Structure 1
Amino acid sequence: METNALSRRNFLRVSGIAGSALCLGFYFPANAKKGELITVNTADLSGFEFNAWIRIDANGKVTLTDHRAEMGQGSFQSVPQIIAEELEVDLKDINVVFAQGDPVKYGSQITGGSSTIRGSYKKLLKLSATAREMLITAAANKWNVPASECYAGSGYVIHKPSGKKLHYGELVADASKLTPPKEVKLKDASAYKLIRKPLQRMDTPMKTNGEAIFGLDKKLPGMVYAVVERSPRLRGKVKSFDGSAALKVPGVKQVFKIQMMVFNTTRDGVVVIANSTWAAMQGRKALHVEWDESGFEHVNTADIYKAHEDLLKTKEGLSFKKQGDPDGILNKADKKIDVIYQTPYQAHAAMEPLNCIAHYQPDKIEIWGPIQAPDWVQGDITSKFKMPKGKVIVNMTFLGGGFGRKAFLDYTHEAVAISKEIGAPVQVVWTREDDIKQGPYRAGISYRGQGSVENGEISALKFKMAGQNIDHWNGPSRDKANNSTAEGFLKPYYDSIKNLSFADVPYEMPLPNMWWRSVYASTNGFAYESFMNEMAVLAGKDQLDFRRQYLKDERCQALISKMEEVSGWKSRKKNEGFGVAITECFETTVGQVVKVSRNAAGKVKIDKVWAVMDCGWYVNPDIITAQIEGSVVMALGAATIHEITFKDGLVEQHNFYDYLMPRMSDMPLVEVHIMENPADAGGVGEPGLPPFAPALTDAIYDLTGNRIRKLPFNMNAI
């Protein structure tokens, strides 16, 4: 680092902060992934904007700046648990605040890909241990004793021989003047007192007593409210509109046309501004809008899947991965299968609908809301409104669910555009109908699986997928296979199956598609693991034994043994159906066993789900259990209850009355087991979803002999 001259301003700032607090953070040179640990003194002397990840004040209170969103996944608990462990403070003494969007300060801030813990835990452990060692050194210097005679606990530094102790608050001024040690010793997992413990979440009380601020709770002085009547078709344009009746609604102030960016195209809408959300909604009902829908393909759901099937049967597609000669083996094979699987379009349907507050001013833009990617929003608004990045301030609130939708940039762009038009702060609220009918959606995808068996072993596998590619909406080349063609398929299979190929058959459709929880693994997992179950039957093998034969690495073998043990796989009874699936995404492998039976009315019911997760290093087993249970709920809905369908190019669903959600009575018992091993941390929030559907349909096949290859299906019709 080059040290700049100490200006009067920086001197005052350094002396003011350093004299009252110990502040530690990371500097990310050129937005590098690996940050350099620094104090506020170093940051100011070097001219860096400081990111105070940890701040300990003169009262010993620890403030943690969380650079990622909290949308129910538990970062407001897991991250403090990491900090408290190595810092040796009580959890109750940690206050968590959201960081503003700034990739220069914080690196990547996207809450997606199950990356919050796996992407930050090593930095956080080191940061906390560094602060602890600096406080110990400060105390040892005060006492004029060796630091080796001192230790930290519950926010104090204690001198072992004498029993003397000093509170962290008494030490921060001296500690802040020290140079952080380059290397610190971290605890062994066997010494953890907080990490790996099922501690209750600290954000639960505030989320149940109304203290937590979600997007819709935030208010600004002089703020008005807006709803938007948007084109029901992505490329539909406003031909004309009449807002006279809307302006007669009490509270309605303005009506005007707006455009929002959706990827690299635009969507038209008519905005109603009012003094309350209710008034704006009533004003929208009184609008009359005529849309120009010329040139739009009026597609139906059945047409989409028919096109998929035709492509899978007639096109080889773009090769993603190929080893050996699967085509040659399949052409000569006597014992083989050739089947198609299909998965539906899905809405995100987060419990909190989209909303965003924006205040456009000539010299700055400020945003508040439930945002999964504040750094992306900052960059997007900077580009689109030609405002210097430092003048675009993105503030996160709590999110009531996101699942990828709130990492998208359309709703924040729209809010800023409306605020600029009216010259005032505005809160734009999407209704549930807006959210479900506008998208973007998880794309519906079809798969063709071809496989052969010789002497009871796989001789060849060939997979092709046809469906919309998320990457194509952002404009890259169409001549490359979908980067996620094989997502969800376990890597050890590549070592044991000699003849194997994956291909992507491009399919274009003007329907906005986007990430959805576990992204392509949620659809790939159903196809690939269902096919492996069919291959096991073709080979005459038990499904778990079959996988053990091909997943030969140590972690997979241990996971399979655990699945077999906890589910009682080897002692299955008559009139019970058992199914299995194992998938991998975001560096975590999850195996699930599903048990089904028939109820007194003869209907198939799900009795129990056993989920075994290998995520390597982890923080809180209760949060993991909650995430897997939530994943099973979401997977159950997508497999058996809801889907987005299209008629004449329009979405047919509106709200929860026709985009149904699983009920409590639908939910089976879920038993979660976490594998213990020294591997690096993997993701937790998403990997529990993909194995459920293939395990469920395998269980149904085991019970009924009915092989399900198309989702969703009706449990009551089996």
Structure 2
Amino acid sequence: MSTGTVSRRNFLRTTGITGAALCLGFSFVADGKENEVIVTTDAEQSALELNAWIKIDSNGLVTLIDHRAEMGQGSYQSVAQMLAEELEVNLKDVNVVFAQGDPKKYGGQITGGSSTIRGSYKKLLKLSATAREVLITAAANKWKAPATECYAESGMVIHKPSGKKLHYGELVADASKLEAPKNIVLKKRSDYKLIGKPLHRKDTPMKTNGAAIFGLDKKLPGMLYAVVERNPRFRGKVKSFDDTAAKKVPGVTQVIVVKMEVFNTIREGVAVIANSTWAAMQGRKALKITWDDTGFEHMDTAEVYLRQQQELKKEGLSFKKQGDPDGILATATKVLDVVYQTPYQAHSAMEPVNCIAHYQKDKVEIWGPIQAPDWVQGDISKKFNVPIDNVRVNMTFLGGGFGRKAFLDYPYEATMISKQIGAPVQVIWTREDDTTQGPYRAGISYRAQGAITNGEISAVKFRMAGQNIDHWSNPKRGVPNDSTTEGFLAPYFESIKNISFADVPFEIPIPNMWWRSVYASTNGFAYESFVNELAHEAGKDPLDFRRTYLKDERCQKLIDKLEEISGWKSRKKNEGYGVAITECFASTVGQIVKVSRSIDGKVKIDKVWAVMDCGWYVNPDIIKAQIEGSVVMALGAATIHEITFKDGMVQQKNFYDYPMPRITDIPPIEVHIIDNDADAGGVGEPGLPAFSPALTAAIFDLTGKRIRKLPFNMATV
């Protein structure tokens, strides 16, 4: 980890701290494998790049620089809740501000893979506890008393024998001169006052009273606004355009051609720049553009899946194999051989994509809803040949991201437009732009083969044919997709002796990207649906069947909980129950879905039970909200919407033809969390994959119909 000088002006401007302050952060040692806590009062004099900053000013205000984005997943609350617990301050006295993009200071800043808490919670707890201990030591020194006679509570250090108190603000000057203690003892979970409690989120009032700043809320002096009419085909170009009518719209200032890098291709369009969003949008409507769509294939959805079906006849690239599944399948009396299909999906975050960029020769500054500020910083530095330290990326709140806002296209496009027009500009994507331009979750087909011998699984073989995200950014031909088994529980590999997974390479020019839970969202449907089919073939109860193969103690407890809360053993006639259990991002989630027929004979979802084992956790209400949101998102992807292509163009435009689940579609969702002392796992993504296989299993239990293709229509089951 390199070191450098932190600008005191920027430090004070970012935190709002004036006067004496206690500052703590981590500094990587030379080998980069370990880090130490640094205590200082002046970042400039310390000449160190520190991350995970905690600052306490002379008024006792605590500021935490959060290096990750808040996009609805609850990290803004969770990081503050952890800090307040170990620092012994009131949660209301903790101020959270977003860090700028700076991998030298903060390391990886991508908000994805449910990594915010699980990737940094131990460091943040240690940092907070260290701050508490140096404050206690500073107070003890003032009183000339043993530190063991002092304790911290509600932002004060208290001398137990005498009852004397000192506010943290009174101690920061002295505390900042102390060295950080080396052996910090963290609280036991049984001693927590805040962690593990369903506390109200700090960002909720801000988001309901308008104080929270999202991308569209940010304004700069002299800022212009732009919308872009992009080619509706992903590789098409601008042949010509007539902007006569567009320039007559009051407020329109310029019309220019823009080229935006999308992975290894260029997306072309015509940008209308104006002094208001409305004027820019009206100017775009008045444009007349002729597109050049020659020289590349125009894809149709039916053709995409037909190709995948053909590819699944191949063996593909082996990703994981044990035993001799091919030999057993070749000689088995009966082999299940089925294909599952999952659709392309848009991200459809509540807040469409937007970004502000200000290009000024040798420096660039960006503001917006960004999931990966460090990636954006590096990308802009490289593509515009600007020193990386001169690229400043500022995060706002995100109105949802789901992976889309970790992509680099929209900050690049905004920077390119700002450079061309010589002014700061806010580029705004409409819902139609967001829906028709992608990138998307890739549609994938799976071939699953399995044999049951004497009521037990003797062999299983999976092949997947779908786009590999890695092939866009880092082409590795001949290497299987490293997410081929994502969603499939590790204990299966211990109990199923003959098993194989293969990736069948499949490439087409449709931009694909991470989508909530990434490949687990599609893998989970195929793999857990097939486990349900194998259970049926073996004549076994599907929950008991899993109990046989998921022998891990944590899985057994999760299965016990599912059985208990759902009344699985007391299922009634004319009720359909389905189960699925998936794992991703270090958390395991099991779901049971109950369905029945309504008076009109249509299948309806009566209830969803979900059990999550995410190990150590902060706020159970946030976990429940994330699982509920995941179920709603999974319900839409399984039964309501999909992205389809015709003649190389996306057919869906907005929510009228890419509808979202309505409140009347949402069944009761009951969430339970397993308590244990395991390391923290993810929360924001793992709640999604288990729903669709549990739902289709429940429908089979009720109707006898197997559903292997998503989405399907609940009204016609």
Which TM-score tier does this pair reach, normalised by the shorter chain?
A: over 0.9
- Residue 670 of structure 1: aligned partner: 669
Q: Deviation of residue 232 (structure 1)?
A: 1.1
What is the aligned partner in structure 2 of residue 435 from structure 1? Answer: 434
CA apart distance, 1:195:
0.3
CA shift, 1:6, in A, is 14
Which deviations, in whole Å up to 9, do the C-alpha atoms of 1:154-185 show, x marking residues without a partner? 00000010110100000001000101111211
Identity fraction in percent: 77
Whether 1:592 aligns to 2:608 is no
Task: Give yes or no for contact 1:117–1:681 (8 Å, CA) kept in 2.
Answer: yes
- The reply to whether residue 107 of structure 1 matches residue 110 of structure 2 is no
The match for 1:657 is 656
Q: Does 1:374 align with 2:377?
A: no
Q: Is the deviation greater in 387-396 or in 291-300?
A: 291-300
Amino acid at match of 2:198: P
User: What TM-score do you get using the length of structure 1 for normalisation?
Assistant: 0.97
CA contact (8 A) 1:613 1:674 kept: yes
**CA, structure 1 residues 345+17, in 2 after alignment: closer, same or farther (shift >3 Å)?**
closer
Give the letter aligned to residue 76 of structure 2: F
Report the counterpart of residue 704 of structure 1 in structure 2.
703
Q: Give the 3 Å change call, closer, same or farther, for CA 507–576 of structure 1 in structure 2.
A: same
Instruction: Trace 1:7-46 onto structure 2 (pairs within 5 A).
Output: 20-28=20-28, 32=32, 34-40=34-40, 44-45=44-45
Cα 1:32–1:609 change in 2 (3 A) is farther
1:31 CA displacement: 10
- The answer on 1:492 being equivalent to 2:498 is no
Report the Cα offset of residue 47 of structure 1. Answer: 2.6
Deviations along 1:481-533, one digit per CA (max 9) or x if unpaired, are 10100100000101110100000111110000000000000000000000000
Shift of 1:32: 4.6
TM-score, structure 2 as length reference: 0.97
Instruction: Write out aligned runs for 1:545-564 (5 A).
Output: 545-564=544-563
Partners of 1:355 and 1:427 within 8 A in 2: yes
Match of 1:187 in 2: 187
- Closer/same/farther in 2, CA of residues 670 and 97 from structure 1, 3 Å limit: same
Cα shift at 1:265: 1.8
2:6–2:49 CA contact under 8 A, matched in 1: no
Work out whether residues 2 and 46 of structure 1, in 8 Å CA contact, stay in contact via their aligned partners in 2. no
Q: Give the SS at the match of 1:239.
A: strand
What CA distance in whole angstroms lies between the structure 2 residues aligned with 1:527 and 1:33? 39
Give the structure 1 partner of residue 396 of structure 2.
397
Q: How does 1:134-213 map to 2 (within 5 A)?
A: 134-213=134-213
| Structure 2 SS opposite 1:534 | helix
- Structure 1 position 703, deviation (Å): 0.3
What is the Cα deviation at residue 239 of structure 1?
1.0
Mapped partners of 1:401, 1:702: distance in 2: 35
User: Partners of 1:270 and 1:230 in 2: how far apart?
Assistant: 6
**Residue pair 1:467, 1:506 contacting (<8 A) in 2 also:** yes
Counterpart code for 1:221: P
**Equivalent residues of 1:28, 1:107 under 8 A apart:** no
- State whether residues 353 and 410 of structure 2, in contact with CA within 8 Å, keep that contact through their aligned partners in structure 1: yes
Q: CA deviation at 1:352?
A: 0.2
CA distance in 1, matches of 2:627, 2:3: 48
Counterpart secondary structure, 1:267:
strand
Which residue matches 2:645?
Answer: 646
Once the two structures are superposed, the pairs formed by residues 574-585 of structure 1 within 5 Å of their partners are 574-585=573-584
Question: Partner residue of 1:412?
Answer: 411
Equivalence map 1:89-104=2 (5 Å) = 89-104=89-104
Partner Cα separation in structure 1 for residue 711 and residue 4 of structure 2 = 62
Q: Secondary structure at the match of 2:226?
A: strand
Indicate how the Cα distance of structure 1 residues 148 and 526 shifts in structure 2: closer, same or farther if over 3 A, else same. Answer: same
SS in 2 for 1:639: helix
Kindly provide the amino acid, as one letter, of the partner of residue 506 in structure 2.
Y
* 1:518 and 2:517 aligned: yes
CA shift at 1:28, angstroms? 3.8
Consecutive unaligned residues in structure 2, runs of 5 or more: none
Go from structure 1 to structure 2 and tell me whether the alpha carbon gap of 1:25 and 1:6 turns closer, same or farther (over 3 Å shift).
Answer: closer
- State the AA in 2 paired with 1:478: R
State the secondary structure of the residue aligned to 1:117.
Answer: helix
The reply on whether 1:61 has 2:61 as its aligned counterpart is yes
Cα distance, 1:273 vs. partner? 0.4
Query: What is the DSSP-based 3-state SS (H/G/I as helix, E as strand, rest coil) of the residue aligned with 1:71?
Result: coil
Distance 2:98 2:187 in 1: 27
43-52 or 384-393: bigger deviation: 43-52
Aligned residue for 1:119, secondary structure, equals: helix
For the structure 1 residues 9 and 310, does the alpha-carbon distance in structure 2 shift closer, same or farther, using more than 3 Å as the test? Answer: closer
What is the distance in 1 between the residues matched to 2:586 and 2:596? 33
Q: By how many angstroms is 1:442 displaced?
A: 0.2
| Residues 59/119 of structure 1: CA separation in 2 closer, same or farther (3 Å cut) | same
Structure 2 residue 283 is matched with structure 1 residue 283:
yes
How many Å separate the matches in 2 of 1:39 and 1:108? 22
CA deviations 1:661-708 (Å, max 9, x no partner) are 000000010000000111000000000000000000000000000000
Distance across 2 between alignment mates of 1:284 and 1:393: 30
Distance in structure 2 (CA, Å) of the matches to 1:53 and 1:540:
57
Amino acid at match of 1:435: D
Cα RMSD after superposing both structures: 2.0
Residues 340 and 446 of structure 1 are in contact (CA less than 8 Å); yes or no, is this contact kept in structure 2?
Answer: yes
- Could you say if the C-alpha distance between residues 288 and 310 of structure 1 is closer, same or farther in structure 2, counting changes exceeding 3 Å? same
Distance in 2 (CA, whole Å) between partners of 1:490 and 1:29 is 36
2:453 is aligned with 1:451: no
Alpha-carbon distance between aligned partners in 2 of 1:318 and 1:444, rounded to the nearest angstrom: 19
Report the AA paired with residue 536 of structure 1: A
Distance change >3 Å, CA 522–CA 547, structure 1 → 2: same
Match of 2:527 in 1: 528
Instruction: Show CA shifts across 1:316-337 (max 9, x none).
Output: 0000001010010001101320
Secondary structure at the counterpart of residue 138 of structure 1: helix
Quote the Cα distance in structure 1 between the aligned partners of 2:7 and 2:437. Answer: 52
Q: Is the 8 A contact 2:52 2:67 kept in 1?
A: no
1: CA distance between counterparts of 2:69 and 2:5? Answer: 36
Distance in 1, matches of 2:578 and 2:712, equals 16
Q: Could you tell me whether the CA contact under 8 Å between 2:18 and 2:57 is conserved in 1? A: no
Code of the residue aligned with 2:462 in structure 1: it is F
How many residues in Structure 1 have an aligned counterpart in Structure 2? 714
SS at match of 1:716: helix
**Post-superposition shift, 1:246?**
0.6
Q: Which residue of 2 aligns with 1:478?
A: 477
Cα distance in 2 between the residues matched to 1:27 and 1:397: 26
Aligned in 2, Cα 1:495/1:51: closer, same or farther, shift over 3 Å? closer
Residue 394 of structure 1: how far off its partner (Å): 0.3
Q: What amino acid is the match of 2:524?
A: G
Cα offset, 1:42, TM superposition: 8.3
1:621-636 matched pairs, under 5 angstroms: 621-636=620-635
What whole-Å deviation, never above 9, does each CA across 1:543-569 have from its counterpart, x for those lacking one? 011001011111011111111111111
- Mapped partners of 1:711, 1:6: distance in 2: 52
Letter of the 2:264 partner, please give it. N
Deviations 1:586-608, CA, capped at 9 Å, x for gaps: 00000000000011111100000
Give the Cα separation in 2 of the matches to 1:547 and 1:21.
56
Check whether the contact 2:6–2:43 (CA below 8 A) recurs between aligned residues: no
Q: Deviations over 1:379-428 (max 9, x none)?
A: 00010011111110000000000000000000000000000111111000
| 8 Å contact from structure 1 (residues 631, 689) kept in 2 | yes
Shift of 1:17: 8.0
The alpha-carbon deviation at position 251 of structure 1 amounts to 0.5
Partner of 2:254: 254
* Alignment partners' CA distance in 1, 2:162 and 2:136: 15
Q: Is the 8 A contact 1:482 1:504 kept in 2?
A: yes
Distance in structure 2 (CA, Å) of the matches to 1:602 and 1:6: 67
> Is the 2:6–2:48 contact (alpha carbons within 8 Å) kept by the matching residues of 1?
no
Distance 2:171 2:38 in 1: 18
Q: Structure 1 pair 473/5, CA: closer, same or farther in 2 (3 Å)?
A: closer
SS of the equivalent of 1:120 reads helix
Secondary structure class of the residue paired with 2:257? strand
Aligned-residue offset at 1:211: 0.7
1:600 maps to a residue whose letter is: I
Give yes or no for contact 1:18–1:173 (8 Å, CA) kept in 2.
Answer: no
Task: Report how far residue 50 of structure 1 moved.
Answer: 4.0
Cα separation, 1, equivalents of 2:317 and 2:500: 11
Deviation of the 1:26 alpha carbon: 1.5
8 Å Cα contact 2:233-2:648 kept in structure 1:
yes
